[in-house]
Amino acid sequence: MSTSHDGSPGVPAEGAAAAGSAPTPDAPARQGISRRGLLGLAGATVAGIGIGIGADRAVSAASGSASSPATRSYAFYGAHQAGIVTPAQDRLHFAAFDMAGDATRADLIELLQDWTVAAAAMTAGQDIGEFGAVGGNYDAPPSDTGEAQGLPASGLTITFGFGPSLFRGAADADRFGLAGKQPPALHPLPHFPGDMLDPAASDGDLCIQACADDPQVAVHAIRNLTRIAFGRASLRWSQLGFGRTSSTSTTQATPRNLFGFKDGTANVKAEETATVDKQIWVNSSDGPAWMSGGSYLVARRIRMTIETWDRTILREQEAVIGRTKGEGAPLSGGSEFTEPDFEATGRADQPLIAETAHVRLSHPTSNGGAAMLRRGYNFVDGNDELGRLNAGLFFLSYQRSPEQFITVQSQLAKNDALNEYIRHVGSALFAVPPGASQGGYIGEPLFA
Amino acid sequence: MSTSHDGSPGVPAEGAAAAGSAPTPDAPARQGISRRGLLGLAGATVAGIGIGIGADRAVSAASGSASSPATRSYAFYGAHQAGIVTPAQDRLHFAAFDMAGDATRADLIELLQDWTVAAAAMTAGQDIGEFGAVGGNYDAPPSDTGEAQGLPASGLTITFGFGPSLFRGAADADRFGLAGKQPPALHPLPHFPGDMLDPAASDGDLCIQACADDPQVAVHAIRNLTRIAFGRASLRWSQLGFGRTSSTSTTQATPRNLFGFKDGTANVKAEETATVDKQIWVNSSDGPAWMSGGSYLVARRIRMTIETWDRTILREQEAVIGRTKGEGAPLSGGSEFTEPDFEATGRADQPLIAETAHVRLSHPTSNGGAAMLRRGYNFVDGNDELGRLNAGLFFLSYQRSPEQFITVQSQLAKNDALNEYIRHVGSALFAVPPGASQGGYIGEPLFA
């Protein structure tokens, strides 16, 4: 047993809670990681270690948005979770978890407390505890896995969500005493026409979205949070993404998806605060109270049949999307940010933007005003046995209610010309609670 | 049918070769992509288009090494291929291809010519032909898939290699009249103890290594080169990597692998020109003549059982590697770049660097002076059904002879303490020809 730790300027270390003394809902929030969390970090063979959050990873990591992308860092604590309206970073590691079969409500709370402490440290550019030679404990596994040592915060955000099954498990089991707190809107998404979902890459009790400008930093975050969950929750599925497909800020250029088109031109942007308030954040009148300031996250793994797309003539590609491929301007005219004119007609009175064009069917005017903040990423996961790239879009959208997504996707699934070139193969819905306050933990109001 | 193309400042377009008039070995090198290559780009439904290399992707792409990583570009043509001693970029897309069953020698030459033209364009920050509205041909698929439009060269390098099976196929078939040109050293690697290779993720007739500082640029390159190969070669396996694990230049800090250790401290660096000449480049006395100025590339997919590693105590981790985890200093003392002292002993006359330590067994002094230039990347490809990350190191090394790798790996496979935590699951060896000269094509001396 060892309680050594270095005196680095991170969050102070704290003795681990005695075994069996599970935190109660109103226990004061802890600064350190629990004994269980440390066991996850250390492995089941080591008992009774006590290590706090340790060394700063990078001396230059500053709080708040800095000028250099690498040293940029975002505060973890706040009214809303970071990673939603935060300007979309370039890289993603997303993970869904299931609670262990024997996990209790206390385990869940403790896990969320541990994750909170660890996420606050990592987003500030710190490691999870010390590691390495200086002051290290050579007879325990290093608390931190180390691959992000020397790397700055890199704009890391870590965003947590709760799946429907956390509230109501198989056979409606109320495993964690949360059934009464389940938001009425938080139920598995309906089956949409064309869905070909892989259950093993769908759903989950919990999710973590780690976004950063350096993939090693995002991977490090998911890996270490997975270790901390040891014995309490385990990885169900995960997805890496390498290029954001939407801007979430007016300061960002619109990126391109793997169809080669600009994606997210009409996305809700952080700067549009009235729209964000109306479309993205759950407000106090929406209920339940614990979700106030939160949002709902839809994740869809969308495989693109890019080989077929690549053999489609340009005219057809543009007609399917409803925009030009180069500039991204609507086919009704103008430039990228010109509002599409869905009434405009051309030859033979045909609409310039086809009835089945993606831009028309996904537009708020076609969906009773419903919009969402998209935050998806391109992915390429090797290739299949026929030599086709296993590639596509890992779609992520935040909205005040899942109904916004359901409305739009119901339209798209039925009529979108793009359906010929895509296949939805994974799906999940999560309630994303509001941000934690310093000293509190993520999701705390759910357990009040 | 259309022959329209824009007058953009890329390589001039050229009329496609008449069908059936295969280029001969001494045909003058072409500047444009062949009819077959254009068919790959355009899809089998469109016949007889003629499009050259098109628009500059980014106005700021400069030739030669520039100061900004994004706008940095490396010349494709030269005595050696780029992507070997080039300072290792941060992202990788690697692909292995097999020639089509009915492909001829002329097809192979034509493919290499097409790939050369396309690679020279993309590494200069240009697209493969035009795309988009301005000057675009609306009745053909866009030549370029478009997802890198607007992105600078991002330090892209594209490096080609030839597998043993290109020279001698199944049942020793001399499909391309190359059997007499097969380098004596180019034979499938021997089976090493512990190898658990997946044939579907091993070997291949051809390989392309695309490295860039932006993954979208690397993915774009492999995707478009795959399209160009349509009907002549198809993707056999591919691998994305997200963090380089070795420095190849003294100007780079040593990165960390997923064991959290610095990797590549003792790597051969581009600046060590005498070592590079001795260990990396095939010289004229080595034979065969067409390989002079080339190198041999070993690719190994090494799965790391990181969950087991993460539960290993720090003392053991450091003993396995033979270096400290923090600084990366040899356990015999000093700092990162201090030469390990394998004779130094400590308590009970035990060597400070264990007999089975990775740093000892892989060191040139343990291998008759054999060294290699490593250029590997970390990878995480989701997780398995037990929630373990499918993660590891995609090992790439360049050497003057495959014997250098075989010598070192024979040592490691038998005795390396690290074997408890790794598993080699994919393997390939390629002959990497010298660089092409402007107007020539990659591998041209092989066909002389």
Compare B335 and B43 and report the one with higher pLDDT: B335
User: What are the chain B neighbours of A41 within 8 Å (beta carbons)?
Assistant: 310
The pLDDT value recorded for residue B20 is: 33
Q: Does B380 touch chain A (CB under 8 A)?
A: yes
**Measured between alpha carbons, how far is residue B162 from residues B27, B181, B434 in Å?**
21, 12, 12
Nearest to A237 by CA among A438, A396, A428, A444: A428
Q: Which of B391, B382, B373, B408 has its CA nearest to residue B259?
A: B391
Instruction: Give me the residues of B, 278-307, that contact A with CB < 8 A.
Output: 306-307
Answer yes or no: is pLDDT of A65 > 70. no
pLDDT of residue B16: 31
Give the three-state DSSP class for B392: strand
Range of weakest confidence among A8-17, B83-92, B425-434:
A8-17
- CB–CB of B215 and A258 under 8 A? no
Mean pLDDT of chain A: 86
Beta strand spans in B306-434 (E): 373-374, 377-383, 389-399, 422-432
Task: Nearest by CB to A326, from B44, B132, B141: name it.
Answer: B132
What whole-number percentage of chain A has pLDDT above 70?
84
Record: contact B326-A134, CB cut-off 8 A: yes
Residues with Cβ < 8 Å from A415, sequence gap 6 or more? A355, A356, A361
**A201-205, A274-278, B125-129: the lowest-pLDDT one:** B125-129
The secondary element (H helix, E strand) that includes residue B39 is: helix B35-42
Show the 3-state SS of chain A. Answer: CCCCCCCCCCCCCCCCCCCCCCCCCCCCCCCCCCHHHHHHHHCCCCCCCCCCCCCECCCCCCCCCCCCCCCCCCCCCCCCCCCCCCCCCCEEEEEEEEECCCCCHHHHHHHHHHHHHHHHHHHCCECCCCCCCCCCCCCCCCCCCCCCCCCCCCCCEEEEEECHHHHCCHHHCCCCCCHHHCCCCCCCCCCCCCCCCCHHHCCCCEEEEEEECCHHHHHHHHHHHHHHCCCCEEEEEEEEECEECCCCCCCCCCCECCCCCECCCCCCCCCCHHHHHHHCCCCCCCCCHHHCCCEEEEEEEEEECHHHHHCCCHHHHHHHHCECCCCCCECCCCCCCCCCCCCCECHHHCECCCCCCHHHHCCHHHCCCCCCEECCEEEEEEECCCCCEEEEEEEEEEECCHHHHHHHHHHHHHHCHHHHHEEEEEEEEEEECCCCCCCCCCCHHHHC
User: Residue B116 is encoded by which pair of tokens?
Assistant: 């050369």
Q: Say if the Cβ atoms of B311 and A236 lie within 8 Å.
A: no
> Residue A63 and residue A287: Cα distance in Å, rounded?
32
Alpha carbons B426 and A1: distance in angstroms, whole number:
41
| A window 100-159, beta carbon within 8 A of B | 131-134, 136-142, 144-150
Q: Residues A144-153: what's their mean pLDDT?
A: 91
Contacts of A325 in chain B (CB under 8 A): 131-133, 136, 142, 146
The pLDDT tens digits of the residues spanning B354-396 come to 999 999 999 999 999 999 999 999 999 999 888 999 999 999 9
Distance from C-alpha of B171 to C-alpha of B168, rounded to nearest angstrom:
8
Percent of chain B whose pLDDT exceeds 90: 73
CA dihedral for A59, A64, A68, A72, sign (positive or negative): positive
Binary contact (A385, B223; C-beta < 8 A): no
* Residues 232-261 (A) with a CB less than 8 A from some CB of B: 234-240, 242-243, 253, 255-261
In a mutational test of the A interface, the residue from B127, B216, B327, B331 whose CB has the highest number of chain A CBs within 10 Å is B216
Instruction: Tell me the chain B residues in contact with residue A143 when contact means C-beta distances shorter than 8 Å.
Output: none
* Separation in Å, CA of A259 to nearest CA in chain B: 7
Q: What is the pLDDT of residue A217?
A: 96
pTM of the model: 0.89
Chain A to chain B Cβ contacts (< 8 Å): 227
Q: Is the pLDDT of residue A26 over 90?
A: no
Quote the CA–CA distance of B225 and B228 in Å, as a whole number. 5
Helix (H/G/I), strand (E/B), else coil: B358: helix
Position B9 scores a pLDDT of: 32
Cβ distance of B237 and A137 shorter than 8 Å: no
Pair B303, B382: CB distance under 8 Å:
no
Do B219 and A43 count as a contact with CB atoms less than 8 A apart?
no
* List of chain A residues whose C-beta atoms are within 8 Å of the C-beta of residue B60: none
**Which helix (H) or strand (E) covers residue B94, if one does?**
strand B91-99
pLDDT greater than 90 at residue B318: yes
Percent of chain B with pLDDT over 70: 84
Phi, psi of A361 (to 5 degrees): -70, -25
pLDDT for the residue numbered B63: 38
* Under 8 Å between Cβ of B331 and B322: yes
**Which residues in chain A touch residue B391, judged by CB atoms under 8 angstroms apart?**
219, 223
Asked if B387 lies within 8 A of A313 by C-beta distance, the reply is no
Nearest CA among A216, A124, A43 for reference residue B263? A216
Give A56: exposed, middle or buried? Use CB within 10 Å, 0-12, 13-18, 19+: middle
DSSP B126: B
User: pLDDT at residue B26 above 50?
Assistant: no
Do the Cβ atoms of A312 and B382 come within 8 Å? no
Express each pLDDT in B159-210 by its tens digit: 999 999 999 988 889 999 999 999 999 999 999 999 999 999 999 999 999 9
Domain positions in chain A: 1-448
Interface touch A235/B387, C-beta < 8 Å: yes
Chain B residues with beta carbon closer than 8 angstroms to that of A234: 386-387
Residue of B nearest to A308 (CA): B43
Give me the residues of A, 37-66, that contact B with CB < 8 A.
41-46
Q: Which of residues 312-371 of A touch B (CB under 8 A)?
A: 312-315, 317-318, 324-327
Measured between CB atoms, does A5 come within 8 Å of chain B? Answer: no
Minimum distance, in Å, between the CA of residue A86 and any CA atom of chain B: 21
Neighboring chain B residues of A131 at a CB cutoff of 8 Å: 260, 314, 325-326
Mean pLDDT over A415-433 rounds to 97
